[in-house]
Amino acid sequence: MSTTLAATTVPDYLRRRGLSAAADEAWLIQQLTGGVSGAVYSAWDGEHRFVVKQSLEKLAVEDDWTAPRDRILNEARVLDMLGDVVPTRSPVVLDVDEDSLTLTMEHAPLDWTDWKTELLAGRVDASLASALGTALGTIHQSTTNHTWTLPPDDGAAGFLALRVEPFHYTVAERIPEHAPQVREIASRILATRDCLVHGDFSPKNILVSPDGHSERQFWIIDDEVGHRGDPTFDLAFFLTHLALKRVRADEHIKPKFDEAAAKFLDAYSQTGTQVDASYLSQQIGCLVLARVVGRSQVRYLDASARLTARALGVELLTRAGEYDLSRPLKIP
């Protein structure tokens, strides 16, 4: 029987799963924030730290947005695959509970943070962006013709429910003048089944070691949308987040976002994966629009910045041929 976890029940849950024997008084439990699709807890039993994640059926956004809860099982499979192709770049899976649809993972070091926090503070590490480009390219290259352990549909159902429907289809409904092009792009995305696509490759899902080290360590997390799909989507998703944060940034910080985007793309290309610049531009345009009019809208843009972002989205969507990968995104 499926049970819903709460902070008070996590210790007993981990004991029942055989992951700890610590008494109640030893535990420190904290509910983690930042995501919208799951209840996530940090658990410390006095000796070991765990991350416990359970899928939500109704996502924590204003719009009515639901998704199959068994996507957590897909996340576990994707994490195992990442452990094979980019070792040390993701947490280790400790336990998968198919009954309560709960995943228990290795906990990141306490001095790590998510990259989104740094970017919003104006700290833009282009070297880290380059390393992320290499990692993503390696994932895409290594999983082409991969023997899959994903569900029979290769994770397509979760991607449709959590990305294409709330992003592309919602943009088509709310900006009808661009609906035909947006739906055409969505159809192309869904028809492409080339390699493992993370589906949520964004700064909030990159945990990083403290700045100042010669080579920063990082983990790629939140893999529940992973599927066999279109690698351009991951590129577009990542660059969308850099573009939106650039809109918000002070003028002297904007060039740092340009440099990060350029280094990310260059490192990705060095892994041997070909990129269609026009198609990438169209995908970025769709996703930028989705984050200002879709079901999951960014919360860090004010009204003026949202108008700028919307104009950028339309520009990239409708003038795709003008987007050149050799130069960074330029935003008015």
Contacts of 261 (CB under 8 A, 6+ apart): 129, 239, 242, 243, 328, 329
**Same domain, residue pair 99 and 201:** no
**Same domain, residue pair 184 and 302:** yes
**Same domain, residue pair 70 and 118:** no
Q: So what's the pLDDT on residue 55?
A: 79
Give domain status of residue 252, yes or no: yes
Give domain status of residue 331, yes or no: no
User: CA of 151: how far to CAs of 29, 74, 181, in Å?
Assistant: 32, 7, 30
**Same domain, residue pair 154 and 233:** yes
Give domain status of residue 307, yes or no: yes
Give domain status of residue 84, yes or no: yes
Contacts of 307 (CB under 8 A, 6+ apart): none
Question: From first to last of its 332 residues, what are the pLDDT tens digits of the chain?
Answer: 457 888 999 999 999 999 999 998 899 999 987 545 568 999 999 999 999 998 776 544 455 555 567 788 889 999 999 999 999 999 999 999 999 899 999 999 999 999 999 999 999 999 999 999 999 999 999 999 877 666 667 788 889 988 999 999 999 999 999 999 999 999 999 999 999 999 999 999 999 999 876 689 999 999 989 999 999 999 999 999 999 999 999 999 999 999 999 999 999 999 998 889 999 999 999 999 999 999 889 999 999 999 999 999 999 998 866 566 555 555 55
**Could you tell me if 10 and 39 are in contact, meaning their C-beta atoms sit under 8 angstroms apart?**
no
User: CA of 99: how far to CAs of 2, 57, 73, 103, in Å?
Assistant: 5, 15, 10, 11
CATH number, domain with residue 243 = 3.90.1200.10
Q: So what's the pLDDT on residue 161?
A: 87
Can you give the residue range of the structural domain that contains 24?
A: 10-106
Give domain status of residue 85, yes or no: yes
Q: For residue 40, what are the β-bridge partners?
A: 32, 53
Q: What is the DSSP letter of 8?
A: T
Give domain status of residue 124, yes or no: yes
Contacts of 81 (CB under 8 A, 6+ apart): 143, 146, 149, 196, 226
**Same domain, residue pair 161 and 279:** yes
Q: Which tokens is 151 given?
A: 């569900």
Give domain status of residue 277, yes or no: yes
Q: So what's the pLDDT on residue 37?
A: 58
**Same domain, residue pair 86 and 194:** no
**Same domain, residue pair 156 and 91:** no
Residue that is last in its domain, among 62, 87, 106? 106
CATH number, domain with residue 40 = 3.30.200.20
Q: So what's the pLDDT on residue 155?
A: 81
**Same domain, residue pair 261 and 217:** yes
Q: So what's the pLDDT on residue 60?
A: 45
Q: So what's the pLDDT on residue 213?
A: 65
Q: Which tokens is 109 given?
A: 């070091």
Query: How many structural domains compose the chain?
Result: 2
